[in-house]
């Protein structure tokens, strides 16, 4: 599994404002979108392309076009939805599917409660959007779900991660083609499952429920 932590002052600056508890929801949403666009630049480094021939006004030349089937972008509901616009801004030809994950209160096992994806994911390259990689449970279940449906290559884009969550995914992924692109790798998880220092509950902060 490849893990890439973005190392850029603009990303750290935007994350710093995002982390600040006094940042209002409207600013939080705009910054999330901007951050995802910056992270998407790194995350799409391995996007599949093929060589095409085109004619400029001056000469015939070759370039690259994003291959078919187009990449599939999958925001995990609810907080991943706040990352979608920033992603498709950079990858407008991508198809978009949706996955809703919920955790059983007693077993703590995550499962899929809503799904709107193409039936056949054979040979698809997928980009999963989930802002907070905490324990890794729901992201891992989402990745497994996509592989079970035929996907062959999954890149997750997260704003923040805890080392515990990254390690949990790494242990479970077992040689399959998974990459994780992070805005920052934080210190740890606290006893309530929040990332420290983190930014609190990403869904609440995006949608103004705090
Ligand atoms: N989900 C969040 O929104 N925040 C955390 O810190 C952990 C999980």
Residues 73-88: tens digit of each pLDDT: 999 999 999 999 999 9
Strands (E), 29-152: 49-55, 60-66, 72-77, 95-96, 98-103, 110-116, 125-129, 132-133
23 is catalytic: no
Report whether pLDDT(209) > 80: no
Rounded Cα–Cα distance for residues 184 and 179 (Å): 15
pLDDT of residue 170: 96
pLDDT band at residue 57 under the 50/70/90 scheme: very high
Q: How far is the CA of 208 from the centre of ligand 1 (A)?
A: 15
What is the number of the ligand 1 atom nearest to the C-alpha of 193?
7
Annotated binding-site residue? 29: no
22 is catalytic: no
204 is catalytic: yes
Q: How far is the CA of 85 from the centre of ligand 1 (A)?
A: 20
pLDDT of residue 103: 81
103 is catalytic: yes
Q: What is the mean pLDDT of residues 186-204?
A: 96
pLDDT of residue 105: 76
pLDDT band at residue 121 under the 50/70/90 scheme: very high
pLDDT band at residue 4 under the 50/70/90 scheme: very high
Ligand 1 in contact with 170 (CB < 6 A)?
Answer: no
Q: What are the C-alpha distances in Å from 108 to residues 101, 103, 156?
A: 12, 5, 22
Annotated binding-site residue? 84: no
pLDDT of residue 106: 80
Q: How far is the CA of 193 from the centre of ligand 1 (A)?
A: 7
CATH for 2-207, options being 3.10.20.30, 3.40.50.2020, 3.40.50.720, 3.40.50.300: 3.40.50.2020
Q: How far is the CA of 204 from the centre of ligand 1 (A)?
A: 10
Q: What is the mean pLDDT of residues 104-126?
A: 89
pLDDT band at residue 210 under the 50/70/90 scheme: low
Give the tens place of pLDDT for each residue, 165-193: 999 999 999 889 999 999 999 999 999 99
Ligand 1 in contact with 202 (CB < 6 A)?
Answer: yes
Rounded Cα–Cα distance for residues 68 and 34 (Å): 27
Annotated binding-site residue? 209: no
**Spans of all domains in the chain:** 2-207
The whole-model pTM stands at 0.96
Ligand 1 in contact with 34 (CB < 6 A)?
Answer: no
Annotated binding-site residue? 78: yes
Give the tens place of pLDDT for each residue, 133-166: 999 999 999 999 999 999 999 999 999 999 999 9
pLDDT of residue 46: 95
Give the tens place of pLDDT for each residue, 23-55: 999 999 999 999 999 999 999 999 999 999 999
């Amino acid at each position: 599994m490849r893990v890439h932590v973005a190392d850029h002052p603009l990303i750290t600056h935007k994350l710093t404002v995002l982390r600040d508890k006094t940042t209002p929801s409207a600013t939080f949403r705009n910054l999330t979108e901007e951050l995802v666009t910056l992270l998407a630049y790194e995350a799409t480094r391995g996007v599949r392309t093929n060589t095409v021939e085109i004619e400029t006004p001056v000469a015939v030349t070759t370039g690259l076009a994003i291959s078919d089937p187009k990449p599939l972008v999958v925001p995990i509901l609810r907080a991943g939805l706040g990352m979608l616009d920033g992603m498709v801004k950079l990858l407008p030809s991508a198809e978009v599917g949706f996955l809703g994950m919920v955790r059983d209160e007693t077993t703590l096992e995550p499962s899929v409660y809503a799904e709107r994806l193409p039936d056949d994911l054979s040979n698809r390259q997928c980009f999963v959007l989930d802002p907070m990689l905490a324990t890794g449970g729901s992201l891992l279940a989402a990745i497994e779900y996509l592989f079970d449906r035929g996907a062959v290559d999954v890149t997750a884009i997260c704003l923040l991660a805890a080392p515990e969550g990254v390690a949990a995914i790494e242990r479970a992924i077992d040689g399959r083609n998974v990459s994780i692109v992070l805005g920052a790798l934080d210190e740890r998880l606290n006893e309530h499952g929040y990332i420290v220092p983190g930014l609190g509950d990403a869904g609440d902060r995006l949608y103004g429920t705090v």
